[in-house]
Structure 1
């Protein structure tokens, strides 16, 4: 598929051919996208939640009542979960929430995410993402010409420092290098902006999967 290339000033800079295997999938698999998002978000969870169990409560272990004749059940410690101040039964423990997902499924999910943006006309190819000075006001004016309000911008192997510094002060605008491209960020943005360098890196990244 062929797509027009634009500049930051909303001018035309020719066109580019996009791989149909990466950007032209017609039947988008929502189940694959869901698996990729769930895998990605599960790896972000810290898993540091913790409650004290019965053995971790600093209270006396002395039996506090008579064995019989107290009018209630027999207990030997106030650490039990049934008492106020006691331990928590079956509470959360420190653990990893990360799940596993095969590399081929991850690559396929990324292709479907990119194809969904291309199919819904939410994909823009930018000539280059560079600024002469890190001026946020200047970048906001350029984005308004392109109609970008909530966008994810993917550049090549490295980011232009001026562009990245100017963009980080703009709400709902994210800038990532090509290796940071992921399914979750692609799906949650309104417009996906790829530079020509980013398209080359994406083709390199997904080409082995195509050959297989």
Structure 2
């Protein structure tokens, strides 16, 4: 599969041949969904917590005699029946992470890339760099490529001026190639890859 290379000024800069094994698969929504669920489950903090009866600071002395009151038989005031008592079966601190095999994760990334390629939502640029870290100038360049909602993937290192200029623009994410992931690809309308990012992806799945 051949993809055109452009610049952020909107000029053509040749073409690049990409592997059909990475960008030419028939996208499978079920595999992509599994990976997205895995990512979101790992991201969930799981710090919700309530106090049970053993953690409530209240007396444990029996409230009144066992017999003769005409009321229910109660002991500790820390039990869940009373206002201020412990919570029964409340949430505890835990990890929400689930397992997903590495091969499925790699396959999901290929299907996410193929999905963008099939929709014509991949833009290949020669490089992502700026002479000055000016957000206004970068927005003007994005306008030439009609980029309003995009994920931009660069090589191993982000160019400092470009990263600084892009971080204030809404709906624009910039990541190095190590940070490429299925969730961020699918949540943005357009995927922008630099030539270095394409080479790194080809080498990764070789």
**Structure 1 partner of 2:128:** 129
TM-score, normalization by structure 1: 0.96
How far is 1:61 from its partner?
Answer: 0.6
**Structure 1 partner of 2:71:** 72
Aligned equivalents of 1:72, 1:88: Cα separation in 2: 23
Aligned equivalents of 1:171, 1:50: Cα separation in 2: 34
Aligned equivalents of 1:29, 1:160: Cα separation in 2: 34
How far is 1:203 from its partner?
Answer: 1.1
- Secondary structure of the equivalent of 1:133? coil
**Structure 1 partner of 2:117:** 118
**Structure 2 partner of 1:179:** 178
Residue by residue, what CA displacement relative to the aligned partner does 1:40-94 show, whole Å, maximum 9, x if unpaired? 1111111111100010000001111221222221010111111110001111111
- Secondary structure of the equivalent of 2:21? helix
RMSD: 0.7
* Count, aligned residues: 206
Structure 2, unmatched stretches of 5+, are none
Aligned equivalents of 1:24, 1:2: Cα separation in 2: 11
Structure 1 residue 147 and structure 2 residue 138: aligned?
A: no
**Structure 1 partner of 2:58:** 59
**Structure 1 partner of 2:42:** 43
**Structure 1 partner of 2:19:** 19
- Secondary structure of the equivalent of 1:36? helix
- Secondary structure of the equivalent of 2:205? helix
Aligned equivalents of 1:169, 1:155: Cα separation in 2: 18
Q: Which runs of 4+ in 1 moved over 6 A?
A: none
Residue by residue, what CA displacement relative to the aligned partner does 1:136-181 show, whole Å, maximum 9, x if unpaired? 0000000000000010000000000000000001000000000100
Structure 1, unmatched stretches of 5+, are 208-212
Residue by residue, what CA displacement relative to the aligned partner does 1:155-211 show, whole Å, maximum 9, x if unpaired? 00000000000000100000000010000000010000000000011111222xxxx
- Secondary structure of the equivalent of 2:54? helix
**Structure 1 partner of 2:102:** 103
Aligned equivalents of 1:16, 1:70: Cα separation in 2: 87
- Secondary structure of the equivalent of 1:55? coil
**Structure 2 partner of 1:94:** 93
Structure 1 residue 158 and structure 2 residue 173: aligned?
A: no
Aligned equivalents of 1:62, 1:158: Cα separation in 2: 65
Aligned equivalents of 2:182, 2:42: Cα separation in 1: 14
